[in-house]
Chains A and B, each alone.
Chain A
Amino acid sequence: MNLTKKDDGGARSAGWSFDEIRDRWASASGIVRWPVYLLLVVGALFLPSEAIGSFMAPGGSDWPTMLSDQIAIYVLLALGLNVVVGMAGLLDLGYVAFYAVGGYTIASFSTKYGWSFWETLVLAILFSALAGVILGAPTLRLRGDYLAIVTLGFGEIVKRTAANSSYVNGPRGIQDIPHPPTLSEFEILGVQPLKYGLLDSRPYYYLLLLFIIVTIVFVKRMEGSRVGRAWASIREDEDAAELMGVPTFKFKLAAFAIGAAIGGSGGVVFAAKQSSINPNNFEFLVSALILAAVVLGGSGNIPGVILGAFVVAWLPERFRELKDYRMLIFGFVLVLMMVFRPEGLWPSRRRKAELAEGTGGMGSMGAEVAGPESAGTSAEVGK
């Protein structure tokens, strides 16, 4: 974002703001940036250590498992959904479908045809991207709420099909999905980062970390390219984008396919880690939580989305001792967040400006929510 001016149109922010850090970061050179990136990666590598775990997961639950089975998966999925929702502005309520396609691809190809983890990974990415195109081609002519409903339906269709298809064992699901090939001789600081097994959460966390880093680099490159500009214009005003010569349909389809591919890769790791999957792993709730992560974190902004996914995945686990009340409290927190910080925990500047304009910044998402500042504009428009 090169919004260098200080005035961002009074996007109101209750609470803290990252603006100053962001501005300094935006003008920072590579010499400043690379050490920070390095530091973040090192921090991520040490995240599963016991010292951090004792605070993050005190209640006896295993912190590395929480990281690999919940948090890292959610971060990866949220990054994928962010391409669709945050960058292209398309509301997808059935994102879990692509996660399922990825999971079922490795499950069936590895158990039936003996494909290895890495082979199925490539195939799963292709399949889920294809699923994105198949879903997108007929439906991306719809907008906003209509698209949301169709994607919601698609998520259910994929789940029901899996539950009713004997090829993938219906509701019983598929068991004995192989782990990635293990290299147990390889050991650093008492950790075997390449030893994969049901109880080896740390290696899986590192695997997901690798996926996450690759995804971030890829998405970041996209964002700065012509593709990213096209997505931004579609998100902000689809008709105007078309009038600027942006092939909107093509780019929406690309966003769907890329988001789907990322979701599919998450499904592959999930299935390998659990070593068994069934249709109930792919509930609508997953789509809803991932979307909550994106919106809560600050849709369109990669660090924000990661933070959002972390919070959404970690909070309910952290407060397990509250038992049945934790989801209630979690829901309440989400509502409060959206009331007091509708732009998300860590939004991008651009998104704040979009929100101030009053479209909610989701472009064609349909909900023309009046932003806090829109009273000023309408006063002028009024005759």
Chain B
Amino acid sequence: MLLEIRDIHVHYGKIAALKGITAAVDEGEIVTLIGANGAGKTTTLKTVSGLRPLSAGSVVFDGEDISRMPGHRRVVAGIGQAPEGRGIFPGMTVEENLLMGAYARKDSPAKELAEAYELFPRLAERKGQAGGTMSGGEQQMLAIGRALVAKPKVLLLDEPSMGLAPMLVQQIFTIIQEINRRGVTVLLVEQNAQQALQIAHRAYVLETGRVVKSAPASELLDDPEVRAAYLGGGSDVREDTPSPEGAPPSEEGAPDLQKKDGPPEAAG
């Protein structure tokens, strides 16, 4: 396993945000964490990338326990992240943003920079524009491109579809698959469970800080409970609603579940 999350607990003050999450990501996979608001998806990612300290458990990356490693060194180790809300440097140009991705690298990032521009031609057109003045979709592309310039082994994506128009969402997900095909392992956090499950190999369902289900993504797409809770469809409503605010419908309202793509093509 490239990345192993072993029974991690994380607290915000006295409140437990994660109550023992265990998950693993194998090399070459796309793994997604789905769940409602407040389930602990973002906290899990932040703990993996080192932005949140954990109070128990451990994170093992590439065979090394990185639980106590500061965030900036995890980047060097090979963990890249496009953070929640994109985290673009608003005053820097697109190119300067991308080059920040190479901050910790000793070698020249020229090849990865070119690759980012090739994946996102839009960014190439806007090299000199200030990051803060770009549209939401462009900023998301920039956030992903910037994380790739660091040449990560695993890419953590936090809600890349948030606030984007449906067409852009489709485009972003296609690009995530393409990035994965080029050999980058992906750990994807999404509220848009439908889309996420369609491109992922495996998935974990999080509820109030715990993993309640883990299965191949294609299985979860057919799972009646998951469909009712996260895919906004299915007549068989669960008896026990997980949390008061839980189970929001997926963003585009009722998605068409008949369009079953089946499992994603195996990654190279």
Contact = CB atoms under 8 A, between A and B. Distances in A.
Contacts of A233: 89, 92, 100, 103
A229 B103 contact: yes
A352 B130 CA distance: 10
Given A240-B88, A243-B49, A353-B90, A7 B133 contact: yes
A10 B133 CA distance: 8
Contacts of B89: 232-233, 236-237, 240
Interface string A242-276: 11111111000000000000000000000000000
B104 interface: yes
Interface string A347-366: 00111111011010100000
Contacts of B83: 239-240, 243
Nearest to A245: B104
B101 interface: yes
Q: How large is the interface on B (under 10, 10 to 19, 20 to 34, 35 or more residues)?
A: 35 or more
B136 A380 contact: yes
B16 to A, nearest CB: 21
Interface in A326-383: 349-354, 356-357, 359, 361, 377, 380-383
B214 interface: no
A4 interface: yes
Contact of B132 (A243, A249, A353): A353
A381 B72 contact: no
B72 A246 contact: yes
B163 interface: yes
A27 interface: no
A8 interface: yes
Q: Which of B90, B96, B132, B162 counts the most chain A CB atoms within 10 A?
A: B132
Contacts of A232: 89, 91-92
A237 B129 contact: no
Q: Which of A3, A353, A377 counts the most chain B CB atoms within 10 A?
A: A353
B132 A356 contact: yes
A381 B136 contact: yes
A243 B87 contact: yes
A245 B101 CA distance: 8
B87 A354 contact: no
B187 interface: no
Interface in A277-297: none
A380 B135 contact: yes
A77 to B, nearest CB: 25
Contacts of A356: 90, 130, 132-133
B215 interface: no
A47 to B, nearest CB: 33
Given A232-B91, A239-B83, A243-B83, A4 B71 contact: no
Interface in B50-95: 50-51, 70-73, 75-76, 80-81, 83, 87-93
Interface in B238-253: 251
A350 B90 CA distance: 8
A29 interface: no
Given A350-B91, A353-B91, A8 B130 contact: yes
Q: Which of B49, B70, B72, B96 counts the most chain A CB atoms within 10 A?
A: B72
Nearest to A359: B90
Given A242-B50, A242-B72, A380-B135, A5 B128 contact: yes
Contacts of B21: none
B130 A353 contact: yes
Contacts of B73: 245
B132 A245 contact: no
Nearest to B71: A242
Contact of B133 (A2, A9, A229, A382): A9
Interface string B105-136: 10000000000000000000000111111011
A196 B83 CA distance: 57
Q: Which of B49, B89, B105 counts the most chain A CB atoms within 10 A?
A: B89
A257 B60 CA distance: 35
Contact of A239 (B51, B76, B91): B51
A239 B72 contact: no
A100 interface: no
A107 to B, nearest CB: 40
A243 B80 CA distance: 7
Contacts of B131: 353
A349 B130 CA distance: 10
A247 B76 CA distance: 11
Nearest to A247: B72
A183 B76 CA distance: 56
Contacts of A241: 100
B10 interface: no
B211 interface: no
B129 A5 contact: yes
A67 interface: no
B30 interface: no
A359 B85 CA distance: 13
Given A232-B92, A354-B90, A361-B91, A9 B130 contact: yes
Given A236-B89, A349-B91, A380-B135, 4 more contacts: A3-B130, A243-B75, A244-B100, A361-B91
20 contacts: A2-B93, A3-B93, A8-B133, A232-B92, A233-B89, A233-B92, A233-B100, A239-B83, A240-B88, A242-B71, A244-B72, A245-B73, A245-B75, A245-B105, A246-B100, A248-B72, A352-B91, A353-B90, A354-B132, A356-B130
Top 8 nearest A-B pairs (CB, nearest first) are: A245-B104, A9-B133, A357-B132, A357-B90, A240-B87, A350-B91, A245-B75, A353-B130
